[in-house]
Structures are given as structure tokens and as C-alpha cells.
């Protein structure tokens, strides 16, 4: 088991679990504003599940990299698409503002 710290919660999950699924199942507000209703449900095309992660997770594959290359995301940012992330160790997750989570202000942090 590994631990995810997000929005003031500490969530245990199996190593290799899908980050988006674990966060949603545990009531973390993964999406900003209407993105909670208008999203691709984890296919990797909308880009609204973006978060910044500290800790060990899977490497980004081509689909995730392709979406993060398209504005308003940037290939230079630290964002990851939670729907394409496998949790491999204890991690801390931060969500930023903007419809796609692409902003520079935090919406929530690992601690709150
Ligand atoms: S839910 Fe759409 S890219 Fe992750």
C-alpha cells in the first residue's frame, strides 16, 4: 500500500493504482468548476484532471505528453494528467486554478 496526500486527506491505495480513480473515489475535488461534469472520464483528451505531483509515479506516456503539449497546458510545466498516472510510492498532490488546472494559484494543496 502507498499513501496519497491531497486536499488535506491521506488516502491509502494499492501500488500501481490509477490516481484519478483513487482521488474521485475518496471525495477529492479533482476538477475545477464545470470540468467536474465536462471531462473525458479518463481517456486523456480533455486535460482537466491535471495536477502537480511530488513523489514516485509512472512515467508519462505518449497520449499524456501529447495532451500536455496543447495549450493552455505547456510541455514545460510540472503538470500531470491524473487519469494517466499510476501511483508507485507515497505522493503529495496539488491542484491549481483554471478550467484545466493550468493556472498559477493553488486551489488545494496536499495539506488543505
Ligand atoms: S480526465 Fe480528461 S484528461 Fe484526464
User: Which residue has a Cα nearest atom 1 of ligand 1?
Assistant: 42
**Cα→Cα distances 28→21, 31, 67, 70, 109, Å:** 10, 9, 23, 26, 11
Per-residue pLDDT in tens (0 to 9) along the chain, 112 residues: 999 999 999 999 999 999 999 999 999 999 999 999 999 999 999 999 999 999 999 999 999 999 999 999 998 999 999 999 999 999 999 999 999 999 999 999 999 9
Residue 63 CA to ligand 1 centre (angstroms):
11
* Secondary structure element (H or E) that encloses residue 57, with its range: strand 50-57
Question: What pLDDT was estimated at residue 103?
Answer: 96
Question: What pLDDT was estimated at residue 7?
Answer: 98
The domain segmentation of the chain, as residue ranges, is: 2-108
Which atom in ligand 1 lies closest to the alpha carbon of residue 44?
A: 3
Beta bridge partners of 50: 81
Question: What pLDDT was estimated at residue 96?
Answer: 98
Q: The C-alpha cell of 103 is what?
A: 493556472
Residue 35 exposure: Cα atoms within 13 Å on the Cβ side: 18
83 lines ligand 1 (CB under 6 A): yes
* CATH of 2-108 among 3.40.50.300, 3.40.50.11140, 3.10.20.30, 3.40.710.10: 3.10.20.30
**Which DSSP state fits 34?**
G
Give the separation between CA 108 and CA 7, rounded to whole angstroms.
5
Percent of the residues in the chain that have a pLDDT greater than 70, as a whole number: 100
Q: Which tens digits make up the pLDDT trace of 12-25?
A: 999 999 999 999 99
Question: What pLDDT was estimated at residue 36?
Answer: 95
Amino acid at each position: 500500500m502507498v499513501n496519497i496526500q491531497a486536499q488535506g486527506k491521506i488516502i491509502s491505495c494499492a501500488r500501481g493504482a490509477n490516481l484519478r480513480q483513487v482521488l474521485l473515489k475518496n471525495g477529492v475535488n479533482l476538477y475545477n468548476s464545470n470540468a467536474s461534469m465536462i471531462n473525458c472520464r479518463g481517456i486523456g483528451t480533455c486535460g482537466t484532471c491535471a495536477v502537480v505531483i511530488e513523489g514516485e509515479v509512472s512515467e508519462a506516456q505518449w497520449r499524456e505528453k501529447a495532451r500536455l503539449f496543447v495549450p493552455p497546458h505547456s510541455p514545460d510545466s510540472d503538470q500531470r494528467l491524473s487519469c494517466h498516472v499510476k501511483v508507485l510510492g507515497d505522493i503529495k498532490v496539488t491542484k491549481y486554478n483554471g478550467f484545466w488546472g493550468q493556472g498559477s494559484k493553488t486551489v488545494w494543496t496536499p495539506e488543505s
